[in-house]
Amino acid sequence: MQNNVFQSFKSNISGISLPEKFTFPFYYEPHALSIIAANELQAYLETQTDFEHNFGLNQNQEGLVIGKMFGVLVCQNQVGKLGYLWAFSGKLAGENNHSYFVPTIFDMLQKDGFFRKEEEVLNAINRQIEILEHSDELKNKCIQLETTKNNANSDIQNQKQKIKRLKIERDEKRISFTHLSSTEIEQLELELSEESKKESILLKKMTKYWNFQLENAQKEVNLHLDKINQLKEERRLKSGALQQKLFAEYSFLNQFGERKSIGKIFNNNPPAGAGECAAPKLLHYAFKHNLKPIAMAEFWWGQSPKSEIRKHKQFYPACKSKCEPILLSHMLKGIEMEANPFHENPAEGKDIEILFEDTELAVINKPAEFLSVPGKIISDSVYQRVKEIYPNATGPLIVHRLDMSTSGLMLIAKNEETYVKLQRQFIKRTIKKRYVALLDGVLEENEGFIDLPLRVDLDDRPRQLVCFEHGKSAQTKWIKIETKNNQTLVYFYPITGRTHQLRVHASHELGLNLPIVGDDLYGKKENRLHLHAEQITFFHPISSEEITIQKNAPF
C-alpha cells in the first residue's frame, strides 16, 4: 500500500460516531466523517502544486476546462485506525495516477504495458492503411478506371446512336422502293439487312472489348483495395483481442477477495469509462489492502459541463449506468448498506386531494414524493389511487403527469372520450399551467423566457441534459414574485412538458442558474422539492366552459 494514500484525519473526529451501515451510493446524505474527508480533500485541491489541471475556477488559467468528480472513502485499517482514501473519476491532468489518490484499476497509460504495445501495433496498421488509401498509385488506378468507364460509355452510346440513325435512313430508303421491281426490292432489302447486322455485330464486339478493358482496370484497383481491406481486417481482429484483454484486466475486488472482470459484469459490452469512476476505484483499493469501508461520498469540483448540471463542491450520487452494475452486483456484496430509497414507497401515509369533479373528469392535488403512474418497483401511485376511487371509470385516467417530487394539480379523465378531448387540448397547448417554485438564490431579472432543448442522460437516468443537437424543444416562461432570505419565489409557465423541464431550466447556467430548493438531482437535497403545480386552466370537454382550478403551494 502506498504510504500517502491511506490518510489520517487532520480534524478532530473523536466525538463523531461511526455510521451503523455503509452508504447507499446512489442516494445518500453524506455522513459527518465523509463531509470532513471531503473538506480536507477540497482544502488540498485549493492549495496543491502537485499537478496542473484547469478546473475552470481561475479565469487566467490556460488550457481546456474540465471539472471533475472526486470521491472520498472513510475506512479502517487492520488495527482499527480510522482514515480515508481519495479518488478522482477518469484522468486528472492527463494522468491516471497521482500522489495521495488511489490508483486506477488498470493503467492503460503504463509505458511498458501491453496496451501501449498493442496500441502502437494498431497505430502502425493505421498508418499503413492511410498511406495506401492516399497513395498516388491507387489514385492513378482509380482515375484510369474512371476514364475507361467514360470512354466505354461514350463509345457504346455513339454506336447505339449510329444504329438508330442508320435504321431511320433504311426506313426512308424503303419508302422509295415503290418504283422498283420486286427483284430489285429484294436485293436492296438484303443489302439493308446485312448493313444492320454488321452494325449490331460491331456493337457486340465493342461491348465485349470495353468489358474486358473495364475488368482489367477494376482488377488493378482491387489489388490495392484488397491490401487495404486485409489490413483493416487485421486491425479489427487485433482491436477486438485487445478489448477482450482489457476487459479481463479491468477486474474488481470485493470484501471476500473475489474478482470479477468488467467484461463479465457488462456481458462484454461495458459503457465507455466504466470502472474509471471514483467509487469503484476507492472500493477496489480498500479491498486490495484490507481496509474496511465505513462511509463514502462524491462531490463535483470545478466548472459544470455545458450539457449537464454540476455545482462546485456539491455532493452527488454514483452514476447508475457505469457504477450500479459494478457496485451492487459485485463490489458491495455482503456489505450492509443503508436502505435503498428506490425500494421504499414514497406515497405511504399520504393521500391525494380531490379539488373538483363531475361525471366526466376530476382535478386532484398530488403530494410531493408521490408517483403519477406505477413504477418498476413501486405500484402505489395516483393512477392506482384513482382506480380505487373511481372503479367504474374507463380509459387511461391519467391525462398528464407530474414528476414524483413535484406536488400539485393533475387532470383525471373518467372515460376514453374525455381523455381524448383533454389530450387534444394539451397537444394544441390550449391548457394553461402555472407552477410556483422557490429558487436557491437571488434572481435579478423580473421575467424572461428559457429555450433549452433536453434529452435524457443515457449514462445517468433519469437526469436530463441540455442538448442542442439531439434534445427535444423545451420552453418555459417565468415571472419573479419576490426575493426573501436569499431565495426567490417565481411563477413558471411551461410551454412544453419535458421530463424535469422546470428543474433543469431553473438550475442550468444557460437558464436561471439557480436550482429549485430541495432539488436532489440538480441542486441540494432538503425536506422536499419546492416546486408545485399551482394552477390549471382548461375547457370542459362537454360544456366547453373554461375552468380554472388553483391550489396554493404548501411552502
Strands (E), 203-273: 251-253, 259-261
Give the integer Cα–Cα distance in Å for 232 and 128: 10
Taking all residues of the chain, what is their mean pLDDT, rounded to a whole number? 94
Largest Cα–Cα separation, the chain: 132
User: Which residue type, as a one-letter code, is found at position 364?
Assistant: I
The whole-number pLDDT of residue 198 equals 92
The catalytic residue among 112, 358, 403, 451 is 403
**Of 337, 317, 332, nearest to 280 (Cα)?**
332
pLDDT at 491 over 90: yes
Residue 1 DSSP one-character state: -
Residues 273-297: pLDDT tens digits?
899 999 999 999 999 999 999 999 9
The alpha carbon of 400 is separated from its chain's Cα centroid by a whole number of angstroms, namely 25
Q: What is the 3-state secondary structure (H, E, C) of 291-358?
A: CEEEEEEEEEECCCCCCCCCCCCCEECCCHHHHHHHHHHHHCCCCCECCCHHHCCCCCCCCCEEEEEC
pLDDT at residue 354 is higher than 70: yes
Q: How deeply is 191 buried, as exposed, middle or buried, from its count of CB atoms within 10 A (0-12, 13-18, 19+)?
A: exposed
User: In the prediction, which pLDDT does 1 show?
Assistant: 55
Of the chain, the percentage scoring pLDDT greater than 90 comes to 85
In terms of Cβ atoms closer than 10 Å to its own Cβ (0-12, 13-18, 19+), residue 403 is buried
Per-residue pLDDT for 114 more than 90? Answer: no
493 strand-pairing partners = 477
pLDDT tens sequence across 141-194: 999 999 999 999 999 999 999 999 998 888 888 887 777 888 888 888 888 888
Cis-peptide, bond into residue 462, ω within 30° of zero: yes
- HSE-up of 523 (CA within 13 Å, CB side)? 28
Burial of 359 per CB tally in 10 Å (0-12, 13-18, 19+): exposed
Distance CA 435, CA 425 (A): 18
> Residue 112 belongs to what H/E stretch?
none
Is-catalytic flag, 358?
A: no
37, 9 contact by CB (below 8 A) = yes
What is the secondary structure of 444-478 as a DSSP string? -SSEEEEE--EEE-TTSTT-EEE-TTTPBP-EEEE
Q: Rounded to an integer, what distance in angstroms lies between the CA atom of residue 466 and that of residue 471?
A: 7
Residue that the C-alpha cell 468528480 belongs to: 69
- Whether 244 has a pLDDT exceeding 70, the answer reads yes
Mean pLDDT confidence for 379-395: 95
- How many angstroms separate the CA atoms of 555 and 295, rounded? 33
Has residue 201 got a pLDDT over 70?
A: yes
Query: Would you say residue 512 has pLDDT above 70?
Result: yes
Q: What is the mean pLDDT of residues 300-321?
A: 94
Whether residue 431 is predicted with pLDDT greater than 60 in this model: the reply is: yes
Interstrand relation of 432-439 and 531-539 (parallel, antiparallel or unpaired)? antiparallel
Contact 284, 250 (CB under 8 A): no
Residue 121 above 80 pLDDT?
yes
pLDDT at 430: 95
Surface-to-core class of residue 132, CB atoms within 10 Å of its CB (0-12 exposed, 13-18 middle, 19+ buried): middle
Q: Look at residue 427 and tell me whether its pLDDT is greater than 70.
A: yes
d(CA 190, CA 555): 106
Please, which pLDDT band fits residue 517 given cuts at 50, 70 and 90?
Answer: very high
Q: Kindly give, in sequence order, each residue whose CB lies less than 8 Å from that of residue 504, ignoring residues fewer than 6 positions away.
A: 309, 452, 454, 464, 466, 474, 511, 522
- CA-CA-CA-CA torsion sign (496, 502, 503, 507): positive
Return d(Cα 374, Cα 384) in angstroms, integer: 7
Mean pLDDT over 291-306 rounds to 96
Cell matching residue 11: 480534524
Phi, psi of 495 (to 5 degrees): -85, -40
Res. 3 pLDDT band, cuts 50 70 90: low
**Weakest mean pLDDT among 4-18, 66-80, 184-198:** 184-198
- Average pLDDT in the 245-252 region? 88
What is the C-alpha separation between 468 and 450, in angstroms, rounded?
13
Instruction: Judge whether residue 541 has pLDDT over 80.
Output: yes
- C-alpha cell recorded at residue 258: 473475489
% pLDDT > 70, the chain: 99
Q: Looking at residue 404, what is its pLDDT? A: 96
**What does the pLDDT read at residue 472?**
97
Quick one: average pLDDT of 228-243?
A: 93
Question: Is 486's pLDDT higher than 70?
Answer: yes
Q: Give the total residue count for the chain.
A: 555
C-alpha atoms less than 13 angstroms from C-alpha of 518 in its C-beta half-sphere: 15
